[in-house]
Amino acid sequence: MSAGRRSGHCREETVGRTRRAARLRRDRDVENAGRKGAYLGIGSNLGDRRAHLADAVRKLAAEPAVRILRGSSVYESKPVGKTDQPDFLNMVLAVNTSLSPLALLAVCLDVEAQLGRECRERWGPRTIDLDVLIYGEEKLKDERLVLPHPRMSERSFVMAPLAEIAPDIKLSGRTAREIAADLGRTGLNPVESWFDFSLWAKVPGERMDEK
């Protein structure tokens, strides 16, 4: 999944991400009074893609302030932007969290760092990619995070899995189901159900909804 919040050359991105993660970690104590629903996108197209997704899901499930409610099927998709690279595996998670949007982003960045996220070139292949797509009804425009994700409604590899688990959620007045139908599924194939993936990945049962 190519992240809309990433830009610049890889070396600059690495430095920028390190500084940003540090700032976000300082924000980790800024949590909401109640828990909010959010949707996260996960993608990988380097190495053992399925294992990278599984590692990311397990690390998210281990975060005390994040509860995985359900996940989409795993989809294989063609790369967007820079097309001469391996196909991606993508999925979307529905989570419940007490973290603020920026603190949730910090968790995602930490997971990427723990899994050795590689960026070899802009829009290029990566071992793991996590995006905060939607956070409740929050609209946010920050240098670190834009909500809802600014390009998600243009990407079938985001909208198809989102429509699978939240078909009636609305973006700019249209449901995920409607947007996904308009985008179609060219170059997009479901390869594994959430049930099968979560069993294989050994996502802690007490930390997720098995639906």
Is residue 117 annotated as part of the catalytic site, yes or no?
Answer: yes
90: left (phi over 0), alpha (psi -120 to 50) or beta: beta
Catalytic residue check, 23 = no
> Which runs of E-coded beta strand occur in 14-144?
31-44, 66-71, 74-77, 88-99, 129-135, 140-141
Residue of 50, 129, 155, 185 marked active site: 129
Q: Are the C-beta atoms of 57 and 194 separated by less than 8 Å?
A: no
- The residue with tokens 């009074």 is 33
Give catalytic status of residue 126 as yes or no. yes
The one catalytic residue in 126, 142, 174, 207 is 126
| Catalytic pick among 20, 117, 120, 144 | 117
Which residue is catalytic, options 17, 20, 55, 131? 131
**129: annotated active-site residue:** yes
Amino acid at 57: V
Report, as residue numbers or ranges, the catalytic residues. Answer: 117, 126, 129, 131
